[in-house]
Amino acid sequence: MSKQRAEGYTMAKLFYGTTAEPIVIDDRMLAHVKVVAATKLRRGESFTLSWVHGDDEPIGRSTIWLQPSIPLRFVFDSEQPEALDQNLLKRMANDANSSRGLSLDIDPDQPAAAGVPARTEPAKAPRSLARVA
Protein backbone atom coordinates (compact mmCIF):
# COMPACT_ATOMS: atom_id res chain seq x y z
CA MET A 1 0.00 0.00 0.00
CA SER A 2 1.42 3.38 -0.99
CA LYS A 3 2.00 5.93 1.75
CA GLN A 4 1.91 8.81 -0.68
CA ARG A 5 -0.79 11.43 -0.43
CA ALA A 6 -2.89 12.38 -3.42
CA GLU A 7 -0.62 15.39 -4.02
CA GLY A 8 2.32 13.02 -4.58
CA TYR A 9 4.25 13.80 -1.39
CA THR A 10 5.75 11.00 0.62
CA MET A 11 5.09 11.79 4.25
CA ALA A 12 7.53 11.50 7.14
CA LYS A 13 7.13 11.91 10.90
CA LEU A 14 8.98 13.98 13.47
CA PHE A 15 8.58 12.70 17.02
CA TYR A 16 9.29 15.50 19.51
CA GLY A 17 10.19 14.80 23.12
CA THR A 18 8.13 12.07 24.73
CA THR A 19 4.98 12.96 22.80
CA ALA A 20 3.54 9.84 21.17
CA GLU A 21 1.73 11.81 18.46
CA PRO A 22 4.10 12.68 15.61
CA ILE A 23 4.33 15.86 13.59
CA VAL A 24 3.84 14.97 9.91
CA ILE A 25 5.80 16.63 7.11
CA ASP A 26 6.79 15.61 3.60
CA ASP A 27 10.01 13.58 3.36
CA ARG A 28 11.91 16.20 1.39
CA MET A 29 11.29 19.03 3.85
CA LEU A 30 11.95 16.84 6.89
CA ALA A 31 15.27 15.69 5.40
CA HIS A 32 16.35 19.33 5.31
CA VAL A 33 15.02 20.02 8.83
CA LYS A 34 16.98 17.00 10.08
CA VAL A 35 20.28 18.34 8.75
CA VAL A 36 19.70 21.85 10.12
CA ALA A 37 18.56 20.52 13.51
CA ALA A 38 21.44 18.04 13.80
CA THR A 39 23.96 20.75 12.98
CA LYS A 40 22.58 23.23 15.49
CA LEU A 41 21.95 20.72 18.26
CA ARG A 42 25.40 19.16 17.84
CA ARG A 43 26.79 22.65 18.55
CA GLY A 44 24.58 22.93 21.64
CA GLU A 45 22.44 25.64 20.01
CA SER A 46 18.70 25.84 20.66
CA PHE A 47 16.11 27.28 18.27
CA THR A 48 12.40 27.31 17.48
CA LEU A 49 10.63 25.46 14.67
CA SER A 50 7.25 26.83 13.53
CA TRP A 51 4.63 25.74 11.01
CA VAL A 52 1.12 26.50 9.83
CA HIS A 53 -1.43 23.88 10.89
CA GLY A 54 -2.58 21.39 8.30
CA ASP A 55 -6.06 21.17 6.84
CA ASP A 56 -7.09 18.56 9.44
CA GLU A 57 -6.33 20.90 12.37
CA PRO A 58 -7.82 24.12 13.70
CA ILE A 59 -6.54 27.22 11.88
CA GLY A 60 -3.31 28.53 13.37
CA ARG A 61 0.39 27.97 13.86
CA SER A 62 2.50 25.90 16.23
CA THR A 63 6.04 26.40 17.47
CA ILE A 64 8.29 23.97 19.31
CA TRP A 65 11.55 24.69 21.12
CA LEU A 66 14.43 22.48 20.00
CA GLN A 67 17.37 21.98 22.33
CA PRO A 68 19.91 19.17 22.76
CA SER A 69 18.15 17.64 25.80
CA ILE A 70 14.82 17.12 23.99
CA PRO A 71 14.71 13.82 22.08
CA LEU A 72 13.88 13.92 18.37
CA ARG A 73 13.19 11.00 16.06
CA PHE A 74 12.89 11.35 12.30
CA VAL A 75 10.91 8.61 10.53
CA PHE A 76 10.79 8.70 6.74
CA ASP A 77 8.31 6.84 4.54
CA SER A 78 10.78 6.79 1.68
CA GLU A 79 13.39 4.03 1.78
CA GLN A 80 15.88 6.17 -0.13
CA PRO A 81 17.37 9.37 1.31
CA GLU A 82 16.08 12.59 -0.20
CA ALA A 83 18.40 14.68 -2.35
CA LEU A 84 19.35 17.79 -0.39
CA ASP A 85 19.23 21.26 -1.90
CA GLN A 86 22.23 23.24 -0.62
CA ASN A 87 20.49 26.60 -1.19
CA LEU A 88 17.47 25.48 0.80
CA LEU A 89 19.73 24.21 3.60
CA LYS A 90 21.47 27.59 3.75
CA ARG A 91 18.15 29.46 3.88
CA MET A 92 16.84 27.18 6.60
CA ALA A 93 20.07 27.45 8.62
CA ASN A 94 19.92 31.25 8.38
CA ASP A 95 16.32 31.18 9.62
CA ALA A 96 17.22 28.84 12.49
CA ASN A 97 20.02 31.24 13.49
CA SER A 98 17.68 34.24 13.52
CA SER A 99 15.55 35.44 16.42
CA ARG A 100 12.38 34.33 14.57
CA GLY A 101 13.65 30.74 14.31
CA LEU A 102 13.08 28.21 11.57
CA SER A 103 9.65 28.58 10.01
CA LEU A 104 8.46 26.09 7.43
CA ASP A 105 6.34 28.54 5.48
CA ILE A 106 9.18 28.97 2.99
CA ASP A 107 8.80 27.79 -0.58
CA PRO A 108 11.59 25.22 -1.02
CA ASP A 109 11.54 25.66 -4.80
CA GLN A 110 11.88 29.46 -4.80
CA PRO A 111 15.44 30.83 -4.72
CA ALA A 112 16.32 33.34 -2.02
CA ALA A 113 16.88 36.89 -3.22
CA ALA A 114 19.99 38.77 -2.11
CA GLY A 115 20.59 36.65 0.96
CA VAL A 116 17.04 37.04 2.27
CA PRO A 117 15.19 33.80 2.91
CA ALA A 118 12.34 33.39 0.41
CA ARG A 119 8.89 33.27 2.00
CA THR A 120 5.48 32.75 0.57
CA GLU A 121 1.99 32.78 1.97
CA PRO A 122 1.81 30.33 4.87
CA ALA A 123 1.96 26.84 3.48
CA LYS A 124 -0.59 24.17 4.22
CA ALA A 125 0.18 20.49 4.66
CA PRO A 126 1.95 18.63 3.14
CA ARG A 127 4.58 21.36 2.55
CA SER A 128 4.35 22.39 6.19
CA LEU A 129 4.09 20.31 9.32
CA ALA A 130 0.70 18.97 10.31
CA ARG A 131 -0.25 16.91 13.35
CA VAL A 132 -1.65 13.47 12.71
CA ALA A 133 -5.35 13.33 13.58
The 10s digit of each residue's pLDDT in 48-75 is 999 988 888 889 999 999 999 999 999 9
In a domain, residue 21? The reply is: yes
The 10s digit of each residue's pLDDT in 74-92 is 999 988 899 999 999 999 9
Average of per-residue pLDDT across 4-11: 60
Q: What is the mean pLDDT of the chain?
A: 80
Domain ranges, residue 113: 11-131
In a domain, residue 1? The reply is: no
Report whether 73 contacts 47 (CB < 8 A): no
Burial class (CB in 10 A: 0-12, 13-18, 19+), 60: exposed
In a domain, residue 26? The reply is: yes
Q: How many domains is the chain built from? A: 1
In a domain, residue 24? The reply is: yes
Distance CA 47, CA 50 (A): 10
What integer pLDDT is reported at residue 5 of this predicted model? 44
Direct distance between the N- and C-terminal alpha carbons of the chain, in angstroms, rounded to an integer: 20
In a domain, residue 124? The reply is: yes
In a domain, residue 74? The reply is: yes
Burial class (CB in 10 A: 0-12, 13-18, 19+), 61: middle
In a domain, residue 2? The reply is: no
Report whether 90 contacts 65 (CB < 8 A): no
pLDDT of residue 11 exceeding 80, the answer is yes
Residue partners of 59: CB distance under 8 A and separation at least 6 = 53
Cα–Cα distances in angstroms (integers) from residue 31 to residues 3, 14, 76, 115, 133, in the given order: 17, 10, 8, 22, 22
In a domain, residue 84? The reply is: yes
State the pLDDT confidence band at 129, using cuts at 50, 70 and 90: very low
Q: What is the pTM of this model?
A: 0.75
